[in-house]
Amino acid sequence: MSSLTDKCVKRNNFFVERINYLPRFSKNLGAMKKLFFFISFALGGSFLLPNPSAIAHDWVEYGPLKVNIRGWKLNRDRLINDGQTTYDTNFVNIKKNTEGYVSINCERNRLSTTRSDGTWKRYRVSIRKTEKDLKNDFCTAIRKNPNLLD
């Protein structure tokens, strides 16, 4: 049960209804911000900040593959060694419950994935519709904006 003094403030010997709660609230908010900042950086942010690759909209499903669409990177080793421009990102195969990497060569219209031991398979033409969709979506985006990944 609240009393009259909980809801009102005494000013000039009169009880006035407290309308402005902001000054009392903002002091507590400032302390909470400082506490949140300290905890997030002291713990490395692992408990409070999500992992960038775990954000839901980073992953797009292409059939059994969930592909990290924000993780595409130019494979500089292959560019230096073979002269091929390829882009790699990670994926999860939902059916086989495995993880790996997918690489796309837009110039040659080829796709490659890694085996379970981490070695690359040969580049091949996409056979499955989902692989074609993945390759076409990525290559179309790169052709429209060549500096997309820079």
Within a 10 A sphere around the Cβ of 24, how many other Cβ atoms?
10
**Residues whose CB falls within 8 Å of the CB of residue 136, separated by 6 or more in sequence, listed in order:** none
The whole-model pTM stands at 0.59
Q: Where are the domains of the chain?
A: 4-42, 52-144
- What element of type H or E holds 142? helix 129-144
Within a 10 A sphere around the Cβ of 79, how many other Cβ atoms?
12
**pLDDT, average across residues 88-109:** 91
Give the tens place of pLDDT for each residue, 47-72: 444 444 444 447 899 999 999 988 89
Please tell me whether residue 149 adopts helix, strand or coil conformation: coil
